[in-house]
């Protein structure tokens, strides 16, 4: 996973009016850094939840984690009688088309909801 360094913001030009698009680069990179930091925090918090999440929520956590860290699923669907692998595959495959950043945000939101 791409992890920008904190000092990267200081090295970017302050006057970036010539850049195309409607984002100011230092601001945009800071948002990405905040998402990465929040995602790392959610990864730690999910390990110490008071109660075990339901199977449905565990599958959501798994799928969002895989989408956020690896992106689109590239493997074939497991066959045979490995039902656990099939369900995990389906959970991840259901997130096709979701960006890594959106998966991180959804993962963070789900962990926040489960933490309450």
User: Hey, what domains does the chain have and what are their CATH numbers?
Assistant: 8-115 (1.20.80.10)
> In angstroms, what CA-CA distances link 51 with 42, 58, 94?
15, 12, 26
pTM of the model: 0.72
Render pLDDT for 58-116 as a digit per residue (tens, 0 to 9): 999 999 999 999 999 999 999 889 999 999 999 999 999 999 999 999 999 999 999 98
Candidates 45, 35, 2, 56; CA nearest to 104 is 35
Which sign does the torsion angle of CA 100, 104, 106, 107 carry?
Answer: positive
């Amino acid at each position: 996973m791409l992890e920008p360094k904190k000092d990267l913001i200081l090295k970017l030009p302050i006057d970036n009016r010539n850049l195309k698009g409607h984002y100011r680069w230092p601001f945009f990179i800071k948002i990405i850094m905040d998402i990465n930091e929040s995602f790392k925090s959610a990864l730690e918090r999910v390990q110490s939840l008071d109660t075990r999440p339901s199977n449905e929520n565990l599958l959501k956590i798994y799928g969002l984690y895989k989408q956020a860290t690896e992106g689109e699923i590239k493997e074939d669907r497991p066959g045979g009688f490995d039902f656990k692998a099939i369900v995990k595959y389906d959970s991840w495959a259901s997130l096709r088309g979701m960006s890594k950043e959106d998966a991180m945000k959804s993962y963070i939101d789900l962990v926040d909801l489960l933490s309450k």
